[in-house]
Amino acid sequence: MLYTYPNYYDKFKCVADKCIDTCCAGWQILIDDESMEKYNKEHTGDERIDWENEVFHHCKGKRCAFLNENNLCDMYTQWGEDSLCVTCDRYPRHIEEFENVREYTLSLSCPEVAKIILSLKDKVTFIEKEDDVIEEYEDFDDLMFSLLEDVRILLYKILQNREISIKDRAYQIIEITKECQNKINEDDIFGINDVIDEYETNLIQSLNEEDYYQKTLPRFKSLYELEVLNDLWADLTDEAAALIYGGDTYACNELHKEFEKWLDNNIHANSIMWEQVLMYFISTYFCGAVYDGNIIGKVQMSVTSLVCIYEMLLARWIKNDRQLDFDEIVFITYMYSRELEHSDINLDTIENIEYNI
């Protein structure tokens, strides 16, 4: 078995009750079968567990019933660390599973992880470890997975090319995966190699486009297609829509230009933050296309995520009288991730929206 980790993986340490938020509120926590069996044996009848639906009950504010007023877990303190279900024990560590491959990462929905990722200045690399474990998945497409890995390496190369703007990098990874998707749709998966070879020798392109309204609005609208997990986020989305898109196209474009200039002057190496966000989404989700063939959906979701985070920050900046600090960037980023990544419905929705831009 091959195990891969981003080079920042071991930087994470949970700060527990000192966290600016909690991972034990806002969504339903599913309990795995092994943990349910243990709870049934040792804690039968505990009213904090929904025995029928195999989840933890919620209290006011969608807080887990085991989460006390000090933002500490009563299950952990009363029953011990070994009592935690898989979800609670693992988070914010995230695993993508493939035949003989496990890809580990840290979830951007955790504030501490968001701080780590958004603070990275060096280019992300990946650590590999291997053992003798062998497993087989029925109908797993080894060839497709290998090709996806090759494409992803090219996407990394483009995303980490700091000689061109982040907008141009985002544009190029979309164009590459459109061509790869066409090869898949035409049952010509070996043609993916030709796409890789073509872009390996032609990596620099420049858009020089300033019509932000046309480029960002369709992606921002995707926020309204999502299942609402947090009412505060829904309110922030409405506020952003009014602040950014409440005027005409010219006003919207001017706001974007002003914000872009402000970021360059006030947030050191801000383009590297956007690079790290895209690297996160591509590294986490791209090879999952081996299961559904939707590689363009994975990339469009990644780019849309970056745009939505950026637009929400723009709105925050407008509301704050043209000011923004790192804590607010962290807040918007992890809140967006919670809305998207903690709902399979939302992930599927964003991956399957078609953008005519």
Is residue 345 scored above 90 in pLDDT? yes
pLDDT (average), residues 12-36:
90
Q: What is the pLDDT of residues 219-260, one digit of tens each?
A: 999 999 999 988 999 999 999 999 999 999 999 999 999 999
* 3 state SS of 208: coil
CA–CA distance, 65 with 329 (Å, rounded to integer): 30
Residue 37 CA: distances (Å) to CA of 44, 54, 64: 10, 10, 20
CA–CA distance, 49 with 316 (Å, rounded to integer): 38
The pLDDT of residue 355: 85
Is residue 10 scored above 80 in pLDDT? yes
Its pTM stands at: 0.94
Q: What is the pLDDT of residues 108-167, one digit of tens each?
A: 999 999 999 999 999 999 999 999 999 999 999 999 999 999 999 999 999 999 999 999
Q: What is the pLDDT of residues 171-216, one digit of tens each?
A: 999 999 999 999 999 999 999 999 999 888 776 555 556 678 888 9
Mean pLDDT lowest among 3-7, 16-20, 284-288, 339-343: 16-20
The pLDDT of residue 206: 58
- In which band, very low, low, confident or very high, does the pLDDT at 349 lie, cut at 50, 70 and 90? very high
pLDDT (average), residues 95-100:
96
Is residue 357 scored above 70 in pLDDT? no
Q: What is the pLDDT of residues 42-93, one digit of tens each?
A: 998 899 999 999 999 999 888 999 999 999 999 999 999 899 999 999 999 9
For residue 278, how many other CB atoms are within 10 A of its CB?
24
Which residue's structure tokens are 């723009």?
Answer: 314
Q: What is the pLDDT of residues 299-323, one digit of tens each?
A: 999 999 999 999 999 999 999 999 9
Which residues, 6+ apart, have CB-to-CB distance to 136 below 8 Å? 99
- Break the chain down into helix, strand, coil percent, rounded to 5: 60, 10, 30
With residue 6 as reference, give the H or E element that holds it. strand 2-6
CA–CA distance, 336 with 341 (Å, rounded to integer): 8
| Residue 57 near residue 71 (C-beta atoms within 8 A) | no
Q: 92: cis peptide before it, omega within 30°? A: yes
The pLDDT of residue 268: 85
Tell me, what DSSP letter sits at residue 247? S
pLDDT (average), residues 275-303:
97
Report residue 94: phi and psi, to 5°. -130, 140
